[in-house]
Amino acid sequence: MCKKERPYQYRERNVELDADRAFRFGEGKISGYLSVFLGALSLLAVLAYLFPSYLTTTELRKAYDAESLQQVLKYGMYFSLFFGAMTHFLKKYRRLGCTGMLLTLIAFGLGGYTVPVGPVEPKSLSLGVDWLILAFLGSALVFITLEKLLPKYKNQVILREEWETDFFYFCFNHLAISAILIYANYHTSHFSWAVSGSFQETIQSLPTIVQFAMIVIAADFVLYWEHRLFHEVKLLWPIHAVHHSVKNLDWLAGSRGHFLQVFSERAMVMVPLYLLGPSESALNAYVIFAALQAVLIHCNTRMHFGVLKYIFVTPQFHHWHHSSEKPAIDTNYSAHLVLFDWLFGTMHMPTQHWPAEYGTTKPLPKTIIGQLLYPINALKNRTKNEEDERVN
Ligand SMILES: [Zn+2]
Ligand SMILES: [Zn+2]
């Protein structure tokens, strides 16, 4: 007789407040970190103004006005000095304040916000310093505010364990934007045989919103299967496991990913965009939507989405994807819409519950180098285990 399986017992996640890492008003820690971050970003921005061919992104330069952004830089530099002085005055975190002020003073020494803006000679390969600064300022402002106003786990702090690791990945993914685009374009060029001019003309004649919907569906189909392969092909899993090794989800956590995954994911998703050949406005709308959703779904937020949660991938949906609990393993692969998980039977969305645990069932190295080498070491261990099994 077949024994009836007991329903899974969901548990509440318990997040204790880490008092050493928490920000408290009046100590100087908040102003100290603000001074350091603004100082570092200011210095990077000044370097980008000095060497735009090497430190800015050709595709992104068209989207902003470098002269207007110098005003933002000006306020960033003054605020860094202001917060640095405030930290110095509050004493406890003086070193942070001094570091922030020093970085800003170096930025001033290099020309500050008055470096002349001229024509830029485009280089095929450059570092996306501009992309890093704009994405960091925008994401930190929007998503930290969201996480503070509507937190899922109130006790989870901004500088939670391993935030430095994820911040490194955030920087790498943005700085490498031009290398990623070069690789993605090269990869896409292999599909030129499938391009149809008349098909693309028909697509472009459709209203922008329809084109946008078509891109989202086509991109998500590719992303779903690419993601599923990363989970279900044994050789690929150790690469993707790096993304899953994060134990506390927030706006920064989604940045963690092995560079092999980052490059292949971007290259794969470019294929349907290339074949559809939509209008620039529809494509831009998709790029913004995809970038924001990728951060949002990792956020520590209980924000309600109403009926939208039955259409789009939400934080709760993707948090389940990151859970190490049994019913959630290898589920919720979609990046944009819940459609393909629902269609292919991989959806796990107990609407009343959130995961109690995140991460991988087997622990991964905590260092960046360890994570970078993890796929090779996992393969070596697998081969060794198979050999041992054969000998025994
Ligand atoms: Zn995954
Ligand atoms: Zn994720």
How far apart are the C-alpha atoms of 319 and 317, rounded to whole Å?
Answer: 6
Distance 190 CA to ligand 2 centre (A): 28
Nearest ligand to residue 230 Cα = 1
Ligand 1 centroid, distance to 231 Cα (angstroms): 6
Ligand nearest to the CA of 254: 2
68 CA to middle of ligand 2, Å? 35
Give the tens place of pLDDT for each residue, 11-45.
999 998 888 888 888 889 999 999 999 999 999 99
Identify the pLDDT of residue 7: 83
> Minimum-distance ligand to the CA of 298?
2
pLDDT recorded at residue 387: 74
pLDDT the model gives residue 390: 64
Task: Give the pLDDT confidence of 50-60 residue by residue, as tens digits.
Answer: 999 999 998 88
Ligand sitting nearest the alpha carbon of 246? 2
Indicate the average pLDDT of the chain.
93
Ligand 1 centroid from CA 2, angstroms: 33
pLDDT of residue 388: 73
State the pLDDT at residue 1.
47
Residues 6+ apart with CB under 8 A from 122: 53, 58
Instruction: At 240, give phi and psi (nearest 5°).
Output: -75, -25
Ranges of residues in the chain with a pLDDT under 50 are 1
The pLDDT value given to residue 123 = 87
pLDDT in the model for residue 146: 97
> 319 to each of 1, 37, 313, how far by Cα in Å?
37, 28, 10
168 contacts 246 by C-beta, under 8 angstroms: no
